[in-house]
Structure 1
Amino acid sequence: MVQILDGRKISKEIAQELKEKISSLPFKPRLDIVQVGKDYATSLYVGIKKKVGEDIGVEVVVHEFDYSIETKDLIEEINKIEKASNGILVQLPLPDHIDTKRVLDRVDIRLDVDGLNSATLEKLRRNESDATPSATALGVITLLKRSGIELNGKSACVIGNSIEVGQPLSAMFKNEGCDVTVCDINTPNTKELSMEADIVTVAVGKVEIVTKEWVKEGAIVVDIGINRVGDRIVGDVKYEEVKEIASFITPVPGGVGPMTVVSLFSNLVKLSSANE
């Protein structure tokens, strides 16, 4: 019988642990969120992070910039913000006219709570102890471990190779002793590679693209996709049919999403404690 990987439940447990840890610190950690534009989805996600942070004792400061801001000006603003911050999060996606990589690489790695600076990713690939993983990747690994899943020796197929999710997640799986295959929807044999894996993670932004034909019996399936279909939120996995053959599966919503948010604050506490 399939077991549901309950990100809501586990994220609440971690939030309580962080709240207790933060209350014992001699300072109040501060997270600065950089938001460009005010579209509904961006504002919603920023609001969720702000609420979670404040609930556990973090000072959360949101810096809103006009959609038309240029790359160099945004970098200058981040330079100013860094002086009083314990951690900086650039809310993605940024507008198309902004050089996202250049902006992310400008965030000081000592403040990079989302682990998206290229230098941070390289430290993660080298399995350095002070590397800060992306919040989503950390959320996935933590969810699996806290659910009692042994990672060492398993094969993992990471579908989606983005800098935000796929690349750091594949590095973390390797660091945990997994045999990792990375592919995306344009890889010719993605379905076949997925069918062979003990763990399948999906983050490609394609509605229910992964069906039961992509998954072997007893596989662990982690759906990182978030897609709006009418008034519903669905993932990249066809949940109802895949859960019939998986051993573990994440729901959407309620799986990886809450873990990503709480992992931001795990990273913040780690970084701010190290830098004080």
Structure 2
Amino acid sequence: MIGKAEVDLVYWDPPFAAGGTRGARAGKGERLNGEAAYHDAWGGIDAWLEMMRPRAELVGQMLSPQGSIWLHLDHRAVHEAKWLFDELFGRKAFKGEIIWVPGNGARNTKGPSVTHQTILVYAPRGQMIWNVDHPALREPFAETSQRMHFRKVDEAGRRYRERVIGGKAYRYYADIGRRLGSVWTDCPAMNANTPLTRETTGYPTQKPESLLERIIHASSLPDSWVLDPMSGSGTTLAVAKRLERRWLGVDRSPVALRIASERLGVSLAKPARRSKS
């Protein structure tokens, strides 16, 4: 059972304040009629912030001393959300942001097309798990860089460059790659929303497993609790389970709960009954 302050990683993908209602598809086919997957109409950004505030306060209370919140939004609410989180947790709790490029084409003909989403990263307790040298946080050097700088080859055939620091020589191998920056273009959304792919559940705005793999590898440990307070199709939970983390998901949508439970192969937790007074 999870304690009050034991969560090392929160991935939070709330409604984007985009307006309207989102429906699910029947697996990989046509859209379902009937109950919506979720509603995203708030009557303005102020109402959206009122929805987010108490939830953010509660999530903050669940964090471990090294816990972090990864808040996934786009241009429609990310600026107001940062203002809210700065107010709740302090500006020093803000650790940075990830620009995720889903790979969607530019469609706006009357102004700049927004083809990225933003993930705000907060560590309300001051510290956060950051597995800086994990392979998930590295990317290959550009070919030109490899040709220019990694000219030496060791006995195993590995290319490397050598630097002398403080009189001591250090080797840097090309195949290890470089540390990944804050713009992520290699986790395409089509893996999660194209009917031909294994991941697709039919749930709207489903995120690709590769994105969650990187986040979970970056900011959790094998025994960590991972929380998704608006878990939708269950991508966070499915990846956390596969990576042998402990996980907890919350959602109020019957459609989301059904899809996630089927995906995870688990039974739904039944709501507690109120005692009669």
Give 1 or 2: higher strand fraction: 2
Q: TM-score, normalised by structure 2?
A: 0.32
Normalised by the size of structure 1, how large is the TM-score?
0.32
If you compute each CA radius of gyration, which structure gives the higher value, 1 or 2? Answer: 2
Q: Which has the higher helix share?
A: 1
